[in-house]
């Protein structure tokens, strides 16, 4: 299964996927390309470290969504990699129907809450401020509804007495780093 990763930040989830691949824990999946919408994103440096092509794709003209010329550039770049699965690992743009239709049924996202609770931005902060006792992370199929696609799997993280936002965030990230590669491995065996 050919996997393309899209990300906007430092790439800790992409690194977990690539480390799982290197350790033989990604099933029949193989990451073939990494793309970022930010030329300075740390995720791009992972390419050289793990021997996977990594490239910036210009997302202009919008800052928070992918449509118009930017969407066309992303569709062309991702299509060229011939993916069986497109993994959004910290990709901070809302995908529009053009991209979703180009890769229908092939896009998954990792979200740092137990969906359907706390969709959208700052999910960990939302859960922390609400005072929930259990939060976590979700891998879901991507649809036109932001963080609303069918849930593929979840990992729960208990909020401990004395947790700070930082300590809770660190534990949720650790859960993400285990969950996302496991889901990809399972999908590769189908």
Q: Mind telling me the catalytic residues?
A: 111
What integer pLDDT is reported at residue 118 of this predicted model?
97
DSSP-derived letter for residue 42 is: G
The whole-angstrom separation of Cα 110 and Cα 132 is 20
Q: What is the pLDDT of residues 70-125, one digit of tens each?
A: 999 999 999 999 999 999 999 999 999 999 999 999 999 999 999 999 999 999 99
Given a cut of 90, is residue 65 above it in pLDDT? no
Instruction: For residue 160, name the pLDDT band (cuts at 50, 70, 90).
Output: very high
Q: What CATH fold (topology level) applies to the domain 2-188? A: Rossmann fold (3.40.50)
For the packed helices 165-188 and 12-22, what is the interaxial angle rounded to 10 degrees? 40
Q: Which two tokens stand for residue 106?
A: 């092939």
Q: What is the pLDDT of residues 40-59, one digit of tens each?
A: 999 999 999 999 999 999 99
What integer pLDDT is reported at residue 166 of this predicted model?
98
Mean pLDDT score of the chain, rounded to an integer?
A: 96
What integer pLDDT is reported at residue 62 of this predicted model?
80
Percent of the chain predicted with pLDDT > 70: 100
Given a cut of 90, is residue 183 above it in pLDDT? yes
The whole-angstrom separation of Cα 13 and Cα 159 is 21
Q: What is the pLDDT of residues 142-152, one digit of tens each?
A: 999 999 999 99
- Dihedral angle over CA of 78, 79, 85, 88, nearest 10: 20
Domain boundaries along the sequence of the chain: 2-188
């Amino acid at each position: 299964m050919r996997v393309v990763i899209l990300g906007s930040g430092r790439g800790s989830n992409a690194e977990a996927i690539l480390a799982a691949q290197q350790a033989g824990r990604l099933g029949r999946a193989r990451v073939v390309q990494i793309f970022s919408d930010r030329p300075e994103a740390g995720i791009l440096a992972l390419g050289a470290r793990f021997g996977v092509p990594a490239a910036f794709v210009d997302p202009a003209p919008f800052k928070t969504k992918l449509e118009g010329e930017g969407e066309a550039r992303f569709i062309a770049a991702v299509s060229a990699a011939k993916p069986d699965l497109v993994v959004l690992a910290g990709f901070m743009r809302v995908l529009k129907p053009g991209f979703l239709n180009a890769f229908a049924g092939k896009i998954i996202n990792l979200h740092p809450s137990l969906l359907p609770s706390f969709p959208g931005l700052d999910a960990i902060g939302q859960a922390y401020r609400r005072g929930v006792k259990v939060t976590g992370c979700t891998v879901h199929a991507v649809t036109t509804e932001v963080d609303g696609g069918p849930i593929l799997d979840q990992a729960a993280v208990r909020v401990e007495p004395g947790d700070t936002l930082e300590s809770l965030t660190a534990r949720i990230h650790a859960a993400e780093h285990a969950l996302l590669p496991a889901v990809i491995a399972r999908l590769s065996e189908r």
